[in-house]
């Protein structure tokens, strides 16, 4: 009887070990599920994954970078002082606060070209808000009679009225500017490791790029519309071709440089655990 119990125990242990590690036939349509936690250039991420076949797997999740805040002071001494409000010390300066924002849902498909290989090719997309960085003045900096109407002249003030291009405040007299990219960001990459582990736990590595389009600065601007022949004022993308004032050439140059950065690298490690 003791021998029989010993044999049964060994058989059950062997069966348990067989189920603890997957074999080629185990990767079938949605028959397993894993969860993962990642860290990398795209931020901190949480994933779930499931196989489609032994050659394909689907990953879905969310990644984010913790909100990084910063603050500085901008000097308004060179601007038209009748437009702006001095601070408590009578100096024409303004507090500027900012925040880095990056959060995306992701849907990725892994292709494993070899039988139960760890090497994979990945295609998919990151989907989220297009705003990467926001900067704003917490207090009103423009006088009531000029708010939303006057400000910093980015266009050539000595040229025709069509060259006028003014950085203005919002309706509350506050300034704000955002750095934006596309909300839908296609992704391609390579990696090592299976999102659904053969054993209970594994580590995977991914290297790829997000295609996030042409970065652009958005803020409140006022200009004369060429076609409507009337002034337009509101939250719009800053047109570098209308920044003709030589005093703000650095703004135009910064936009030119930023527009060339159209991809974002992704390098990350993920710890995966198979749920079933």
What percentage of the chain has pLDDT greater than the value 70? 88
- What per-residue confidence (pLDDT) applies to 142? 87
- What per-residue confidence (pLDDT) applies to 164? 84
Residues of the chain with confidence (pLDDT) below 70: 1-25, 77-80, 116, 159
Count how many Cα atoms sit within 13 Å of the Cα of residue 48 in the half-sphere of its side chain. Answer: 5
Separation of alpha carbons 183 and 190, rounded Å: 23
- What per-residue confidence (pLDDT) applies to 22? 55
Which residue is it, tokens 């059950």?
12
Helix (H) or strand (E) run with residue 18 in it: helix 2-20
- What per-residue confidence (pLDDT) applies to 93? 82
What digits encode the pLDDT tens for the residues 50-74?
999 888 999 999 999 887 888 888 8
| Full set of structural domains in the chain with CATH | 25-70+103-131+182-214+263-276 (2.40.160.170)
- What per-residue confidence (pLDDT) applies to 79? 64
Separation of alpha carbons 164 and 242, rounded Å: 8
- What per-residue confidence (pLDDT) applies to 8? 37
What digits encode the pLDDT tens for the residues 104-160?
999 999 999 987 678 999 999 999 988 999 999 888 888 888 888 888 888 877 767
- What per-residue confidence (pLDDT) applies to 9? 41
Helix (H) or strand (E) run with residue 237 in it: strand 231-237
Which residue is it, tokens 């003045």?
137
Residue 93 pairs with which residues in a beta bridge? Answer: 75
- What per-residue confidence (pLDDT) applies to 111? 95
Separation of alpha carbons 223 and 7, rounded Å: 87
Helix (H) or strand (E) run with residue 67 in it: strand 56-75
The chain-wide mean pLDDT, for the chain, equals 84
Q: Which are the contacts of 3, defined by CB distance < 8 A and separation ≥ 6?
A: none
Separation of alpha carbons 213 and 193, rounded Å: 29
Q: How far is C-alpha 149 from the geometric centre of its chain's CA atoms?
A: 32
> Residue 260: what are its φ and ψ, rounded to 5°?
-85, -15
Q: Distances in Å between the alpha carbon of 48 and those of 144, 236, 269, 273?
A: 52, 38, 15, 9
Which residue is it, tokens 């710890």?
271
């Amino acid at each position: 009887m003791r021998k029989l119990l010993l044999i049964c125990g060994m058989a059950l242990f062997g069966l348990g070990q067989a189920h603890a590690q997957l074999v080629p036939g185990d990767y079938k349509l949605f028959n397993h599920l894993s969860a993962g936690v990642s860290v990398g250039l795209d931020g901190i991420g949480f994933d779930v994954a499931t196989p489609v076949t032994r050659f394909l797997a689907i990953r879905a999740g969310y990644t984010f970078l913790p909100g990084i805040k910063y603050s500085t002071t901008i000097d308004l001494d060179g601007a038209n002082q009748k437009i702006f409000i001095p601070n408590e010390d009578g100096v024409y300066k303004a507090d500027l606060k900012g925040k880095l924002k990056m959060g995306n849902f992701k849907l990725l498909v892994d292709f494993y070209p070899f039988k139960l290989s760890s090497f994979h090719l990945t295609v998919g997309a990151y989907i989220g808000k297009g705003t990467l960085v926001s900067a704003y003045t917490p207090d009103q900096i423009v006088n009531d009679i000029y708010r939303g109407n006057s400000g910093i002249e980015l266009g050539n003030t000595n040229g025709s009225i069509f060259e006028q291009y003014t950085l203005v405040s919002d309706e509350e007299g506050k300034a704000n500017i955002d750095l934006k990219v596309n909300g839908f960001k296609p992704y391609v990459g390579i990696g090592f490791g299976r999102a659904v582990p053969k054993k209970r736990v594994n580590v995977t590595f991914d290297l790829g790029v997000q295609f996030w389009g042409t970065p652009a600065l958005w803020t409140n601007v006022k200009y004369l519309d060429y076609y409507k022949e009337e002034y337009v004022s509101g939250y719009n993308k800053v047109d570098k071709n209308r920044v003709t004032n030589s005093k703000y050439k650095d703004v135009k140059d910064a936009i030119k440089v930023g527009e060339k950065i159209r991809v974002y690298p992704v390098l990350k490690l993920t710890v995966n655990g198979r749920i079933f």
